[in-house]
Amino acid sequence: MSAEMSTPSARRPRSAGREAWRRGLYRFAQSRLSVLGLAIVSLLMLMALVGPWLAPYPEHLEGAVSTAARFQPPSAQHWFGTNEMGQDVFSLVMGGARVSVLAGLAVVLLGALAGTLVGGIAGFAGGWTDDLLMRLSDLKLTIPGLVLAMAVAAALGPGIFNMVVAISLSWWPGYARLVRGEVLARKEDLYVTAARAIGARPARLLLVHILPNVMTPVIVKMSLDMGFAILTVASLGFIGIGVKPPTPEWGSLLSVARSYMPDFWWTAIFPGLAIFLAVFGFNLLGDGLRDVFDPRSRR
Amino acid sequence: MWSYLVRRLLLLVPVLLGLTVLVFAIARLLPGDPVALAAGPNASPAEIAAYGREFGLDRPLWEQYGRYLWGLLQGDLGVSIYTRRPVIEDLRAYLPATLELVLAAMTLAVLVGVPMGLWAAVQRDRWPDYLSRVLALGAISMPRFFLGLLLQLGLAMALGWLPLGGRFPITEELPLRITGLLTVDALLAGNLNAFWVACQHLLMPALAMSLSPLATIMRMMRGSTLEVLQQDYVLTERALGLPQRLIITKYVARNAFSATLTVIGLYFGWLLGGTVLVETVFDWPGLGLYATKAVVTQDFMPIIGVTLVIGTLFVLVNLLVDLLYGLLNPKVRPA
């Protein structure tokens, strides 16, 4: 439990909202692991944004090869060594951050959007609409997500967009269940009744009054899901269904490197570590955020 | 009790029916021409059309679906348009390998995860608890395929203790197939050597699979143990002077475990669908490798078959969990 930390302000009383934020921030900063997660995620975001410009050998990201420098072990020149085409593994790993972060974000956003709509409508409408939508999402939960994503991605062909669509298809049921529960709890609240009394239409009630009030758990779930989304993207890349070469992607880098083990271990270890660190960072951050926003789950 | 069981099993019918509709729709609405793919690159349009006719793919979708359902009732899951083998035979060959892998991984996860979770809860806010949290987050962040590669690199390539992959060497004599689970069959045949060889092959893939369920089970167990520890009856037991060890093992663990059981059931289904990666790394001849092959060739009968089998197992395992739940806690026993 965090100690009471509000210092009485002489000039101007702070609003309750800002006070809550300050406390949340304090609680977040209390946990060293959460701060570590935030640091890793920030670094990752930075790499996704400017990685291709910071990479020491940017031409390798475009598919350039230098066969004279094949399979060089890690050195001052090539921090993570070079791969079977003489490309700098460090540059490839930096460039790969972009695909992973972008695709992960897109999957989580799409999944959350679709799930929120489905869950919101199910919870708000009730009756057979609710039954139908929830049975559908139950069914989706029994279908193995990875197999479904593989099937869809293989049929749509390679490319980031297709991959994102394929993964999102199996991503929304979790959000739908979460939002439905929250909407059920909210829809009898006084402010909803009040809005209804002054003649708000159902769509307005749901979109303007109810959904904004159930977003906190959705955002927390999104942050917890980011790591898993990145993991799924890398998994598809590893199986060989993902982005088109030469775009560097961690999973496919790892899958190619498999055949060069154990002699050229660095081509496999560093992309693998990058996946692990990215997922770990998001998991730490998500765990910290959940502790702040959802006090029930706190230790 | 029996009527409950029958009711739950009857519920399986609409679920499976829904699954077939959904997967059938997804498989057939996707772009791509699997027939052309299967007929080969040199096939003329007429040959492709003839090939499609052979499998009834020129019929309207609803008729194809009807035929599929009719076949399903007779235990026929269709034929692969690629290998022309009946899907049911392929499933019979590959499912046991995947089941064995998932069962082994789950056993490892429960045997290690449950005691560790208990321990973390008892040692709450001390270093074991802190360590378990970091380890758990690390474990669920670890890609299974990367862990598999690391294990191969260390245990197989560098140390040479374990075989690199595969399920059973062709040089050894296979035990007679009874259950299809090699370790069990070897034991049943009393063939200790085969058992040992099968275990050696099973260990690394099972380890790679077990890490993330282990972490989740550990965290769940910790959470539910903390809840149980706050119950009045625990206080009473303490007041009566029962030793801590007895309180934890006899009263707390049992009650905390029932919440964890639900997670185990959910994870089981998730693992069944998630063996793809580990099977790829270790060349494990299971459903995952089979599904991957089918997916790449867009061979939809096997895809539907795999999905149905995994869906059925998922529902059955969760039914089993609900029954076990009642066994552990008489309060939730179905009337």
Chain B touched by A263 (CB under 8 Å): no
- Pick from A290-299, B2-11, B271-280 the range whose average pLDDT is largest: B271-280
Of A155, A262, A299, the CB nearest to B298: A155
Tell me the pLDDT band of A236, cut-offs 50, 70 and 90.
confident
| Interface contact B295-A154, CB threshold 8 A | yes
Tell me the pLDDT band of A11, cut-offs 50, 70 and 90.
low
Specify if A197 maps to a domain: yes
At residue A297, the pLDDT reads: 53
Three-state secondary structure of A52-106: HHHCCCHHHHCCCCCHHHCCCCCCCCCCCCECCCCCEHHHHHHHHHHHHHHHHHH
The ipTM of this complex is 0.81
Chain A residues with CB inside 8 Å of B125's CB?
A: 299
> Cα(A183)–Cα(B256) distance, rounded to whole angstroms?
30
Burial zone of B63 (CB within 10 Å; 0-12 exposed, 13-18 middle, 19+ buried): exposed
Mean pLDDT over B307-335 rounds to 77
Chain B touched by A132 (CB under 8 Å): no
| Nearest CA distance, A261 vs chain B (angstrom) | 7
Mean pLDDT over B86-113 rounds to 91
Specify if A284 maps to a domain: yes
* DSSP character at residue B82: T
Specify if A273 maps to a domain: yes
Mean pLDDT over B260-286 rounds to 83
Of B15, B27, B137, the CB nearest to A284: B137
**How many structural domains compose chain A?**
1
> Which tens digits make up the pLDDT trace of A171-202?
888 898 888 888 888 888 888 888 888 988 88
Mutate to test the interface with B, among A143, A252, A275 (most CBs of B within 10 A): A143
CATH number at residue A254: 1.10.3720.10
Specify if A206 maps to a domain: yes
Chain B touched by A231 (CB under 8 Å): yes
Tell me the pLDDT band of A22, cut-offs 50, 70 and 90.
confident
Mutate to test the interface with A, among B11, B82, B137 (most CBs of A within 10 A): B137
Mutate to test the interface with A, among B141, B224, B308 (most CBs of A within 10 A): B141
Specify if A118 maps to a domain: yes
> Which tens digits make up the pLDDT trace of A74-108?
777 777 777 777 787 788 888 888 888 889 999 99
Chain B residues with CB inside 8 Å of A261's CB?
A: 149, 152-153, 157
Neighbour count for residue A4 (Cβ, 10 Å) = 7
Tokens 């977003």 identify what position? A215
Contacts of A296 (CB under 8 A, 6+ apart): none
> Cα(A227)–Cα(B141) distance, rounded to whole angstroms?
7
> Which tens digits make up the pLDDT trace of B47-86?
788 777 777 777 777 888 888 888 888 888 888 888 888 8
Chain B touched by A235 (CB under 8 Å): yes
Specify if A242 maps to a domain: yes
At residue B322, the pLDDT reads: 79
Chain B touched by A93 (CB under 8 Å): no
Domain that holds residue A206: 103-299
Specify if A148 maps to a domain: yes
Q: Which pTM value belongs to this model?
A: 0.83
Chain B touched by A8 (CB under 8 Å): no
Q: Is the peptide bond before A262 cis (omega within 30 degrees of 0)?
A: yes
- Pick from A122-131, B103-112, B267-276 the range whose average pLDDT is largest: B103-112
| Interface contact A144-B270, CB threshold 8 A | yes
Chain A touched by B276 (CB under 8 Å): yes
Specify if A127 maps to a domain: yes
Mean pLDDT over A31-43 rounds to 86
**Chain B residues 50-109 with CB within 8 Å of chain A:** none
Contacts of A19 (CB under 8 A, 6+ apart): A6
| Interface contact B153-A235, CB threshold 8 A | no
Q: DSSP secondary structure string, chain A?
A: -PPP-PPPPSS-PPPHHHHHHHHHHHHHHH-HHHHHHHHHHHHHHHHHHHHHHH-S-HHHHTT---GGGTTPPS-SSSTT-B-TTS-BHHHHHHHHHHHHHHHHHHHHHHHHHHHHHHHHHHHHH-HHHHHHHHHHHHHHHHS-HHHHHHHHHHHH-SSHHHHHHHHHTTTHHHHHHHHHHHHHHHTTSHHHHHHHHTT--HHHIIIIIIGGGGHHHHHHHHHHHHHHHHHHHHHHHHHT-SSPTTS--HHHHHHHHGGGTTTTTHHHHHHHHHHHHHHHHHHHHHHHHHHHH-GGG--
| Rounded percentage of chain A residues whose pLDDT exceeds 90 | 10
Question: Is the pLDDT reported for residue B245 higher than 60?
Answer: yes
| Nearest CA distance, A81 vs chain B (angstrom) | 18
| Nearest CA distance, A140 vs chain B (angstrom) | 8
Tell me the pLDDT band of B105, cut-offs 50, 70 and 90.
very high
Mean pLDDT over B310-326 rounds to 81
* DSSP character at residue B240: T
